A = this chain, B = another copy of it.
Amino acid sequence: MKLTILIHCPDQSGIISSVTRFIHKKTGNIIYLDQHVDKEAGVFFMRLECEFENGITLSQFKQDFSELVALKYYMQWDAYKDGEKPRMAIFVSKYNHCLYDLLSRFNSGELPIEIPFILSNHPDLEYVAEQFQIPYYHVPISKDKKAEAEEKQLELLEEHQVDFIVLARYMQILSSKVIDVYPHKIINIHHSFLPAFAGAKPYHAAFERGVKIIGATSHYVTAELDAGPIIEQDVTTVSHTHSVKDFIAKGRDLEKIVLARAVQLHVDRKTIVYKNKTVIFS
Contact = CB atoms under 8 A, between A and B. Distances in A.
B108 A96 contact: yes
Q: Which of A27, A30, A197 has the most CB of B within 10 A?
A: A30
Contacts of A193: 193, 196, 213
A24 B33 contact: no
Nearest to A100: B104
B17 A29 contact: no
Identical chains bound together, number: 4
Interface of A: 13-14, 16-17, 20-21, 23-24, 27-39, 45, 96-97, 100-101, 104-105, 107-108, 110, 131-132, 193-197, 209-213, 215, 229-235, 239-241, 243, 249, 252-253, 257, 260, 276-280, 282
Contacts of A38: 240
A69 B249 CA distance: 36
Describe A's contact surface by its main secondary structure: mixed
B282 A241 contact: yes
B240 A211 contact: no
Which 5 residue pairs of A and B lie closest in terms of their CB atoms, listed nearest first? A210-B277, A100-B104, A196-B196, A17-B20, A17-B24
